[in-house]
Amino acid sequence: MKAMILAAGRGDRMKTLTDQTPKPLLKVQGKPLIQHTIENLVAAGFKEIVINVAYLGAQIKSFLGDGHQFEVKIIYSDEGAEGLETAGGIIKALPLLGKKPFLVINSDVICDYPLKTLRYRPIDQAHLVLTENPEFHQEGDFSLDKKGNLSTADHNRHTFSGIGVYHPKLFQNCSEGKLKLGPILKTAADDGHVSGERFMGLWMDIGTPERLQEADEYFCDSLAS
């Protein structure tokens, strides 16, 4: 299975931190966010990674190169200066990802989810990892029933972690260009094509300077204990 890291976003909520540095290269414990993600993927047995880039993407390419220093093959999907949103970026990268299911993970997520398990996960159109709702997203995204099926029902919603496995057929009726992923997943879920699971371990969405600092402090505390 191939993996894709989403790294094309501008990171507006990071304010001045991303004026000169792309968000994936912001550091936690002296290591860029995207390096944490790559190392997790390599540890899980992934050998080929597609990374989409846009805003200040040349810096990401320069830092990561072809991936040999991480013992992985990295291929880039360049979206230009502005980016194509999440679904648009995945659709553009489909020729690089092939015809089989592939893993997609946000570059600004730090977690200890066992990514290896997703390499063998049978899916219909998608399988999503959900977490408990954080303070900044109390409404959640999807409900999960006892059979592991997702829907947008209003009760017992959980938050999409930014980690999922997708089959190319999820995007077969989508046009190219800027396109958000959320509506596509929600339609497919309500049509019965999306499974999911709850994850209760470490998960951090590094979306703001405050959360970047919290992540750094978390690892400092972990190392000290």
CATH number at residue 219: 3.90.550.10
Task: Return the closest-CA partner of residue 161 out of 108, 224, 101, 222.
Answer: 108
Q: How confident is the model at residue 219 (pLDDT cuts 50, 70, 90)?
A: confident
Read off the pLDDT of residues 34-53 as tens digits, 9 standing for 90 and up: 999 999 999 999 999 999 99
Residue 223 has pLDDT above 60, yes or no: no
- What are the phi and psi torsion angles at 124 (to 5°)? -90, -85
- Provide the angle, in degrees to the nearest 10, between the axes of the packed helices 33-43 and 57-64: 50
Residue 225 has pLDDT above 70, yes or no: no
The pLDDT assigned to 147 comes to 95
The pLDDT assigned to 81 comes to 85
The pLDDT assigned to 220 comes to 74
- What are the phi and psi torsion angles at 43 (to 5°)? -65, -25
Read off the pLDDT of residues 122-137 as tens digits, 9 standing for 90 and up: 999 999 999 999 999 9
The pLDDT assigned to 210 comes to 95
Overall average pLDDT of the 53-81 stretch:
97
Our count of domains for the chain comes to 1
Residue 152 has pLDDT above 80, yes or no: yes
Q: How confident is the model at residue 155 (pLDDT cuts 50, 70, 90)?
A: confident
Q: Would the pTM of this model clear 0.85, i.e. be above it?
A: yes
143's enclosing H/E stretch is: strand 142-144
Distance CA 153, CA 189 (A): 10
3 state DSSP class of 2: coil
Distance CA 89, CA 179 (A): 8
Strands 194-198 vs 126-131: parallel, antiparallel or unpaired: parallel
Q: Are 108 and 8 in contact (CB under 8 A)?
A: no
The pLDDT assigned to 222 comes to 63
Distance CA 154, CA 74 (A): 40
Overall average pLDDT of the 160-169 stretch:
98
Domain hosting residue 193, numbered range:
3-224
| Chain position carrying tokens 């703001």 | 208
Sign of the four-CA dihedral 39, 42, 43, 46: positive
- Output the six-digit token pair for 85: 């949103």
Read off the pLDDT of residues 14-25 as tens digits, 9 standing for 90 and up: 999 999 999 999
